[in-house]
Amino acid sequence: MSLKLTLKPNEKIFIGGAVVQNGDSAAELSILNDVALLREKDILTEEMADSPCRRLYLSVQLMYIDSANLASYQQTYRKLMADLIEAAPSTVDYLAIINTELACGRYYHALKGAWKLVEYEQELIKNVRQPT
């Protein structure tokens, strides 16, 4: 089964170890095999990983796109997860979903779960900052 993508003008996408940038007009691509793929909007850089949940997202992202260093990223993930559970026990349900996906080797799905965790973290921060 192939995956069809429509890229916006100048949009970047990560495909199996390569960063590809589209030209000045929209383009449609068909990906015919199973390969790590991330759109520019889903990529988190190290500089952007400025919170505990974003750092966890980054570790999952790196597991997905750099399988050669998987053990190192898994170790980082486990430490971040333990720290997060200690600091914010309410994240445990989000982490359970991510862990299930990781255990099944579904890194892209784990990444989607990690983004939901980032969104939850933002909600928590927003609620803390609001005066009572």
pLDDT string in tens for the chain (132-residue length): 688 999 999 999 999 989 999 999 999 999 999 899 999 999 999 999 999 999 999 999 999 999 999 999 999 999 999 999 999 999 999 999 999 999 999 999 999 999 999 999 999 888 876 665
Rg of the chain over all Cα atoms, to the nearest angstrom: 16
Q: Residues 84, 91: contact at Cβ < 8 Å? A: yes
Q: Which helix (H) or strand (E) holds 37?
A: strand 37-39
pLDDT on residue 127: 84
Buried b (16+ CB within 10 A) or exposed e, 15-27: eeeeeeebeeeee
**Residue whose C-alpha is closest to residue 58's, from 114, 132, 2:** 114
